[in-house]
Chains A and B, each alone.
Chain A
Amino acid sequence: MRDVAIIGVGSTVMGKFPESLPYELGAEAARAAIQDAGISPGDLQFAYCANLYGGMVIGQAVMGEIGITDIELTNIENACTGGATAVRKAWWDIASGLYDIGIAVGVESITTSPMAGKLITPAKGDITGELGMNMVARFALSQRRYMDMFNISLEQIAQVSVKNHRNGCMNPYSQYRKELTIEEIVNSRPICEPITLLQCCPSTDGAAAAILVPLDLAGKYTSQPVTIAASVLKSGDYAFRWEDMTFSDMTSKCANSAYEMAGLGPEDVDVCELHDAFAMNELQHYVELGFCKRGEEVRLLEEGVTDLGGKIPVNTSGGLLSKGHPVSASGVAQIAELVWQLRGQAGERQVAGAKVALAHVIGGEVTGLESGAVAVHILKR
C-alpha cells in the first residue's frame, strides 16, 4: 500500500447562495483545488463527488463545467459524512496503486433544494421520522440527558458556540463572521429544547475539493505535501448496543482505529476539526476522540485548551457552527482547513507549528442505528 498525500485544496465561501446552482459551487471549489495543486484539469484520472440534495450525477455536472469528462467518476451519498467518504475513497484509489492523481469534491446547495427552510429528517417512511424525529431532536435528546446526568449548564455548552464563532471571524470562508455572547445563544429561539437556534449549525451552501497523489510523486507538484496518516470510515451500529446516548460509540471506535492506523495518539494532535453540528457535540467529541477523560471536557473548553493558543485548538475554521455545514461538503472543507493549518497558511487563525491534524464527521439518521456513518482522517506534515 502506498502513502498518499494531498497536494491541493480549494473551497467556496460558505453561505446561502440562491443564485448558484450546485454544480457551479462544486466547479468553483474544484477549480480552486486544481489551481492550488498547480495541475491542469486534464491531469485528473478519477473523481469522487459527494452530495445529498443536488440530484442525479452531480459529479459529472461539476467536472463537465471544468473540462473533465471520460474518466472514472463516482457520486457519493453518505449524509454529513459524504465529503469524508469521497476523500477516503480517493485515498484508497491512490493507496492501492490503481491511479496516480484524483480529486474528491463535496458539494451541497440546500437553498436551491426542496430541503430549503426545513429540518433534516430521516428518509420517508422511517418509523422515528413519522413519530416526529428530526436531526435537531435527536441531539436535543442527547443534550437533555447529558445536562441532567453530568450537571452541565446551558451556559457552559454555549461557550462552544462562542469560541467557534470567534474563530469564524478570522476565516474568510466562514458563513457567519460575527461574535456571539453566551446570553445571545442561550436566549435565542428554542428549536428542540434545550437546543436553541444559536447552538445549531446553520443551513449552508458551499463546496470544497482536495487533490490526492502518491506521497512519492508529491514532490513533483509541491514542496509542502500533507500526508494522510489515517483514513477510517464506519457505518453505524445498532442502537440496542448503544448504552449511553451521551457518548458516541461510533466516534470512539472510529478514532481508535484511526490512531492505530496512524501510529499516533490523541496527545499528538495539534489541531482538530470536529463535527460540531450542535454546540454540545463538541464537548462530547473531546471525550470520544481521547482529548480528555469523561467529566473533564467542560474544563478543557473553559481553560482554553481547545481555543487558539491552547494545546489543541478545535474548529479553528469556525466549525460547522460558524463556518457552516454544507452537508456533503463539510468533510472535505475540514480537510482543506487542516491542510492550510499544516502548511502554515491559515492566516490569523494559524496554529503555530501544527504537525498533526485530525478531522471528524458523523451523521445520517435512520431508525435503529446510533447514526449513519462516521469518518476520521489524520493528516500530518
Chain B
Amino acid sequence: MKTGVPFREGLFQGSDEKGSLLGARCRQCGQIIFPRREACLNCLGNDLELIQLSRKGKLYSYTIVHMPSEHFEPPYAVGWIELPEGVKIFSQIRGWQERPLETGMDMALHFEKLWDEEEKEVVGYVFRPSTNGGA
C-alpha cells in the first residue's frame, strides 16, 4: 500500500470521521480565515487562535469540469462549500455521479486520495453530498 501524504501541510488534521480543516479566528476582530496565516488578514492583528472548522456546509456553487487539470482527468467536479462559520472552501466534490448536485444542498467533509505521486498517495479534503442531514 502506498503511503499517504497531505497535499499541503497545515490545512487539515486527522482523517475520515475525526479530521477537520484548520482555520484561524482573530481574537481582535472575529474574522475566520482559511488557510491559516501568521496575522489576521482582516485587521492585521496577531492574536489568532487555531480552530477546527465545521465538517458540514452548504453547496454555494459547483461545476463539472470537462478539461484536464494538472492532477485530475475530466470529468471532475469542484465547488465552493459555505461553512456555518461563513467561510467558503474551494474543494473537489466527489459522489456527484450518484447524487446530482444542487446549489444549496448539504455537504459533508471527507478525506480521500486526491492523486498519485510516484510511490505516494496525495491525500486531501473533498466534500460529498451529505447522506444524513445538514449543517
Specify whether A and B are partners: yes
| Given A121-B69, A132-B76: A240 and B31 interface contact (C-beta under 8 Å) | yes
Contact present for B61 and A131 (CB under 8 Å)? no
Q: Provide the bound-state CA to CA distance between A224 and B7, in Å.
A: 58
Nearest A-chain residue to B35, judged by Cβ: A127
Q: How many chain B residues touch A (Cβ–Cβ < 8 Å)? A: 34
Q: Is the CB of A192 within 8 A of B70?
A: no
Q: Is the CB of B66 within 8 A of A129?
A: no
List residues of chain B with CB within 8 A of the CB of A145.
60-61, 103
Asked whether, in the complex, the Cβ of B76 is within 8 Å of the Cβ of A149, the reply is no
A224 to B42, CA, bound (A): 47
Q: Are A141 and B62 neighbours in the complex by a CB distance under 8 Å?
A: yes
B64 at interface, CB cutoff 8 A = yes
Say if the beta carbon of B67 comes within 8 Å of chain A.
Answer: yes
B63 to chain A: which residues have CB within 8 Å?
A: 137, 140-141, 144, 192-195
CA distance A144 to B71 in the complex (A): 24
Considering the complex, give the chain B residue whose CB is closest to the CB of A242: B88
Q: Who on chain A is nearest to B68 by CB?
A: A119
Contact residues in A for B72 (Cβ distance below 8 Å): 132
Q: How far is the CA of A180 from the CA of B72 in the complex (A)?
A: 32
Across the interface, do A119 and B67 meet the contact criterion of CB distance under 8 Å?
yes
- Write the B31-42 contact mask toward A (1 if CB under 8 angstroms, else 0): 111010000011
A133 to B79, CA, bound (A): 9
Central interface residue in B11, B67, B114, by most chain A CB within 10 Å: B67
From B62, B70, B79, B114, give the contact of A129 (CB < 8 A): B70
B78 is an interface residue with CB less than 8 A from chain A: yes
Rounded to whole Å, the gap between the CB of B71 and the closest CB of chain A is 7
Q: Given the complex of chains A and B, what is the CA–CA distance between A137 and B74 in angstroms?
A: 13
Max chain A Cβ within 10 angstroms of own Cβ: one of B31, B63, B114? B63
- A130 interface residue, CB < 8 Å from B? yes
Find out whether the CB atom of B61 lies under 8 angstroms from the CB atom of A245: yes
CB B74 to nearest CB in A, in angstroms, measures 10
B111 within 8 A of A: no
* Contact A132–B61 (Cβ < 8 Å): no
Q: Are A133 and B78 in contact (CB under 8 A)?
A: yes
Q: Is B65 an interface residue (CB 8 A)?
A: yes
Closest A residue, CB atoms, query B7: A130
Q: Is the CB of B103 within 8 A of A192?
A: no
Q: How far is the CA of A140 from the CA of B78 in the complex (A)?
A: 10
Residues on B with beta carbons closer than 8 Å to the beta carbon of A221:
none
Check A142 against B61 for contact (C-beta < 8 Å). Answer: yes
What chain A residues lie within 8 Å of B64 (beta carbons)?
190, 192-193
- From 132 to 161 in chain A, residues with beta carbon under 8 angstroms from any chain B beta carbon are 132-134, 136-137, 140-142, 144-145, 148-149
Task: Check if A144 sits within 8 Å of B62, measured CB to CB.
Answer: yes
Contact partners of A136 in chain B: CB under 8 A: 65, 67
Q: For residue A139, which residue of chain B has the nearest CB?
A: B63
B91 at the interface (CB under 8 A from A): yes
A368 to B124, CA, bound (A): 18
By beta carbon, the residue of chain A nearest B76 is A132
**CB 8 Å contact bits of B12-53 with A (1 = contact, 0 = none):** 000000000000000000011101000001100000000000
CB–CB B70/A130 < 8 A: yes
A178 at the binding interface (Cβ < 8 Å) = no
Q: Are B67 and A134 in contact (CB under 8 A)?
A: yes
A142 closest partner in B (C-beta): B61
Task: Please tell me if the beta carbons of A132 and B103 are within 8 angstroms of each other in the complex.
Answer: no
Q: Is A220 an interface residue (CB 8 A)?
A: no
Whole-angstrom distance between the Cβ of A118 and the nearest chain B Cβ: 9
Residues of B within 8 A of A (CB): 7-8, 11, 31-33, 35, 41-42, 60-67, 69-72, 76, 78-80, 87-88, 90-92, 103-104, 114, 124
Given contacts A141-B63, A191-B65, 12 further A-B contacts (CB under 8 A): A128-B90, A131-B91, A132-B65, A132-B92, A141-B78, A142-B61, A148-B61, A190-B64, A193-B63, A193-B64, A245-B61, A245-B80
Report, nearest first, the 5 A-B pairs whose CB atoms are least far apart: A140-B63, A145-B61, A148-B103, A141-B61, A193-B64
> Could you list 22 A-B pairs, sorted by A, with CB under 8 Å?
A119-B67, A121-B70, A127-B35, A127-B90, A129-B70, A131-B90, A131-B91, A131-B92, A132-B69, A132-B71, A132-B76, A133-B78, A133-B90, A141-B62, A141-B79, A148-B61, A192-B67, A193-B63, A193-B64, A195-B63, A240-B32, A245-B61
